[in-house]
Structures are given as structure tokens and as C-alpha cells.
Chains A and B, each alone.
Chain A
């Protein structure tokens, strides 16, 4: 049995909105093993992104217990959370979130710099080559298509050789062909490198390509078979 890389017990995230408590994630239990490719699916507002933020140590949990990469992050503050995610967790965002003034290569190198992984500097070019952008490393984000920008974001997330890759709606701004290309990259990374990947998506066709799917509704995990959630 593979190591459990993420373990959540009664995980809850509550926001205060207009004097009322809103449970974005409502007491869920789940675990993810190393080497799994998991998609988190659900309609808008179902709590996918909130859940991913907590798994990625970007947001603190309100109650329950959460272990990430073997570390209990339940009560950690931001200064400690950054140490957990630094170099260990790669992030991909819906809108690519590249630094517009930096080239593709520099964007990837930046992740190495902040992750204190500059000795792995060669990784930047290597990862860009791996995602098929070896000849476009000197291009600024505005000189790249949406699909290419997302591939730069993938290279940035992979450059530090993380143990966990988190992608929040990575195909939200892409057409179906480019979206499939991104998922093909994820499948390859998972299959060939054994990388643990967690992806949120509202695209059922893509989400079901993952090894396992977690369906969310109103902050709770619901049955995997309930594909009519997206109707």
C-alpha cells in the first residue's frame, strides 16, 4: 500500500459572510495516496477551490484535522505553512498567473529561487522542454497562447520537483483541444513519474480521466456516480 500523502478528518472551512457562517467545506473525510491522480469535481461554489487551497497549505482550516505530506498542518501559521509548500507542492492556476514582465524561463526560475532550489537551475529549461516549450523559453507570457502559458505554469510547478501537484481549474480558460493537451501532460506525469496530482475541474469529461474523482456538493463529498451534478 502506498503512503498516504493527504489525510483529512472532518475538514471544515467556514467563512463569515454578512454575519452568517458559510461552510465552504463541511466536515469531509478523505485521503489521497502517493502517486494518485485525483480530480475534485463539482459545480461552482461547491467548495473545490477552497478544498484545494487547504490541501496546498495556502489557507488555514477552520476545524477538523489535515495532514499534508506527512505533516499535521491543522494549526500551522502562514510562516510555517510556507515551509510545507515550498518546493514540495506545485501549483497551477486557472488564469496561469505568470509574471508578465518575466520570460517563460524566468518565470520557472523564479519558482526555483523562492523555493531555495536554485542549484536545480537546469530544471527550468528541462521542464520547459518537457512541456514542449523548449524553443519558446525567451518569450514573454503575452507572446504565448493560452495553452502555452498554462504549460509554462506546469513547468514552473514541476521545476522544484514537488511531491504533490495541485491544479485549480487548469483548463478553465482553454478550448477543448488545449484542455485535453493539459490533461494528457498530467496523465503522463502521473503515469511515468509517479507524481501525485490533484485537479479541480467542472469539466466532467476531463475530470473522469483521473484515476479517482471526488465529487463535492455544498462543501460535502457526495457519491462518485452522481454525474448529474453538472447538469
Chain B
């Protein structure tokens, strides 16, 4: 016989009430862990996506920088166009290490997704694409035979989705053009996986955009010159420069406001759970007034009674901490699906990253919650005068 077993047996007396209280706290813990996981996961995924773009700066036609940044992350460029000549101008700058021009276009394909229809993203690229992204390898096939060939290289997921293999013919609706698949990229874990790549000149011809680009990705020799380089490009008319750090910051700022709101909701849930625990334990103390009086009569000190009631609260919150972690781990998949639907831009890879540190801190948080919420009921019980408690219960 000890305080722990006595506390456990007391809680077992009112199983449903105890279970409901535990679940209230567990859900709050689960939501908080999921949100912390999302915060970490989203940042990591976004950073990974940006790092995998291979360039630090993106030059696009003037327009909304956020729209451009989002479109760029979704597939390579804003749907505003600029003259190809700008490439030569930038290329001549000695601070530039590598650059890659891109032309992005989308076409609606009514046969896509088993007849449901959907947009296909096409990206015109040049040989420099591979210079900036040396990690991109072929699952099958090879590079374009020339920059104006009627050929296509499919991203991993695009090929999977349409069940394409090297040598297949793909048809671009509206334009009525047939291209030959010459290669399929390996999975990169970025938005490039869902894109159909064309030789730059072929894309310009097909989409009737001769000499036009949607973006130029730039990698500098020295990252520290990025500030002055950006400044210089601001003076070039008709274009804007977006640094990838800026893109990351812009998107994270947008997500941050949503996160603050979600965290507030989680904190309110925890506060309500705290009130719930106090209420449950306090109710249990009042119901056991006589019992507490008898315990004191047979030798229990104020501290004994305090410890007993405190232990009951701790058991509830510790159990809730464990169950909450399980809820977070199991439910993170669901959270990810929901987030992908509501977020303006969802990076590839896992959006919710729950680390052992999060689980441990959530569990410790639940224990702290138990310590705090147990103080008042335990104090009430410990302060009972034995004779009054015994007689009140009769």
C-alpha cells in the first residue's frame, strides 16, 4: 500500500469520469504536439524545397513578388513574361556563377486523372538546368537531343501518374502537338517531380512565346555578394529579383499568422483541460470528504492527503501526456492532409515533423499541468479538519 496505488484505485472508482478528463487533456496535448510538429516540419520542408532549387536568386517579370515566389515554388516561374535578352545581360556579370532560364506554361488536359481533367505544368529548360541541379539524375532515358527537338523529359511523379515510359508519345491538348518522352527523372522530392520538361526553344515555339521567359534562376559565386547584386538588378527595367531567403521568409510570415492563431486555440484547449482536471479532482475530493476525514483520523498528515490528491492529478495528466503523444503521432497524417488543403503553398515531403524532443516536452508539459492543477484540490483536501470531514460525510 502506498500513495500511488491508492491514488490509482481512487481514480478507477469513477472510470468514465477519469477517462473523459484524461481524454480532454490528451486531445489538447495531441493538438499542441501536432502544431509544434507542423511548425518544425513546414520550415524544414520549405527550406529543403528552396535548397533543392539550386539557385539563390530568381529573376522574374515585374509583378506581385508573392505570386511569383509561390508560382516559382510550384513549378518554376511566375506566369508573366520577360525578354530572353536579359539572360545575356545577367550572364555578363562576373559575380554570377551559373544561371538557368525557364519558361513555364500550363495546359488543361481533359483526359488527365482518369478523365477527371487537370492542369499539366510544362517547363522549358536549357542545358544549364543540369548545371544548377547536378543532383537530378535519370530514372530512365537521357537528355534532349537538341534545344528545339519535339521531346519531353518527365518528372518522376508526372510519369508515374500518367504511366509513361521512355519512347512514349505524349499529346498536348489545345496545341495539338505530340512529343516523344526521351527521359524520366528520378524523384527529387520537389515540385519538379510533377513537371513535364521541354527543350526551351521547343516550349517557346509550342506556347507561342518566342524569346520569352518566365524566370531565370541564378547562383552566385559568392553568396555574400547577394545584396549588392540584387541592388544592381533593381535598376534593370521590367524585372524583379526575388531571393530564395526572401521567398522563404514571405511564406513563413504568411504561415506564422495562421500558426499564432492555431497555437492560441491549442493554449485555450489546454487551459480548458486544466479547468477540467481541477473540476474533476475537486469533485472527487468533495465526494470523499468523509473518507479524507477518516484517513486523517487513522494517522494521515496534511502532507499525506496532499500527496494523495496531487498524485491522482499527476496520474491523470501523465496518462493524458502519453495518450496525447499517441494521438499526435497517429493523427499527424490527418493534420497533414488538412494542412495541404488549406495552405497557400505546401512544400513537398512531410509537413508535420514530430521529434522525440516534442514528445518529451509535451509529456513534461502535461506533468507540469498536473502539478499546477492538483495544487488547489490537494490543498482543499489537506486543509480539511478531520472531525468536520467525518461528520459532514455522514
List the interface of chain A (C-beta within 8 A of B): 53, 56, 58-59, 78-79, 82, 85-87, 90-91, 93-95, 97, 99-102, 106, 109-116, 118, 156-157, 160
The docked-state distance in angstroms from the alpha carbon of A28 to that of B296 is: 27
Interface presence of B175 (CB below 8 A): no
Q: Are B299 and A86 in contact (CB under 8 A)?
A: yes
Chain B interface, DSSP helix/strand/loop, else mixed: helix
The docked-state distance in angstroms from the alpha carbon of A114 to that of B306 is: 13
Chain A residues whose CB sits within 8 angstroms of the CB of B230 once the complex forms: none
Chain A residues whose CB sits within 8 angstroms of the CB of B304 once the complex forms: 114
Q: Are A95 and B299 in contact (CB under 8 A)?
A: no
Q: Are A114 and B299 in contact (CB under 8 A)?
A: yes
> Assuming the A-B contacts A101-B9, A106-B1, A109-B1, are A82 and B295 also in contact, with contact meaning beta carbons closer than 8 angstroms in the complex?
no
- B8's nearest neighbour on chain A, judged by CB, is A101
The docked-state distance in angstroms from the alpha carbon of A93 to that of B294 is: 9
Chain B residues whose CB sits within 8 angstroms of the CB of A106 once the complex forms: 1, 9
Q: Are B390 and A112 in contact (CB under 8 A)?
A: no
The docked-state distance in angstroms from the alpha carbon of A156 to that of B298 is: 9
- B389's nearest neighbour on chain A, judged by CB, is A58
Q: Are B13 and A85 in contact (CB under 8 A)?
A: no
The contact sample of 8 A-B pairs, CB cut-off 8 A, is A58-B390, A59-B385, A59-B387, A85-B299, A95-B394, A110-B1, A111-B299, A114-B304
CB A105 to nearest CB in B, in angstroms, measures 9
CB B12 to nearest CB in A, in angstroms, measures 7
CB A200 to nearest CB in B, in angstroms, measures 14
* Inter-chain residue pair count (beta carbon < 8 A): 72
Q: Are B2 and A113 in contact (CB under 8 A)?
A: yes
Find A114's partner among B13, B298, B394 (CB 8 Å cutoff).
Answer: B298
> Assuming the A-B contacts A59-B387, A97-B390, are A91 and B10 also in contact, with contact meaning beta carbons closer than 8 angstroms in the complex?
no
Q: Are B297 and A56 in contact (CB under 8 A)?
A: yes
The docked-state distance in angstroms from the alpha carbon of A142 to that of B162 is: 70
- A103's nearest neighbour on chain B, judged by CB, is B9
List the interface of chain B (C-beta within 8 A of A): 1-2, 6, 9-10, 12-13, 290-291, 294-302, 304, 385-387, 390, 394
The docked-state distance in angstroms from the alpha carbon of A25 to that of B2 is: 38
Chain A residues whose CB sits within 8 angstroms of the CB of B387 once the complex forms: 53, 58-59
Chain B residues whose CB sits within 8 angstroms of the CB of A95 once the complex forms: 394
- A117's nearest neighbour on chain B, judged by CB, is B299
- A168's nearest neighbour on chain B, judged by CB, is B390
Q: Are B295 and A114 in contact (CB under 8 A)?
A: yes
Chain A residues whose CB sits within 8 angstroms of the CB of B290 once the complex forms: 97
- B290's nearest neighbour on chain A, judged by CB, is A97
Chain B residues whose CB sits within 8 angstroms of the CB of A100 once the complex forms: 13
CB A50 to nearest CB in B, in angstroms, measures 9
Beyond the given A110-B298, A118-B1, A160-B299, could you list 11 further A-B residue pairs with CB under 8 A, ordered by the A residue number?
A: A58-B387, A85-B299, A91-B298, A97-B294, A101-B10, A101-B12, A110-B1, A114-B299, A114-B301, A114-B304, A115-B298
CB B292 to nearest CB in A, in angstroms, measures 10
Q: Are A82 and B13 in contact (CB under 8 A)?
A: no
Chain A residues whose CB sits within 8 angstroms of the CB of B298 once the complex forms: 90-91, 110-111, 114-115, 156-157
Find B297's partner among A79, A91, A116 (CB 8 Å cutoff).
Answer: A91
Chain B residues whose CB sits within 8 angstroms of the CB of A160 once the complex forms: 299
- A166's nearest neighbour on chain B, judged by CB, is B297
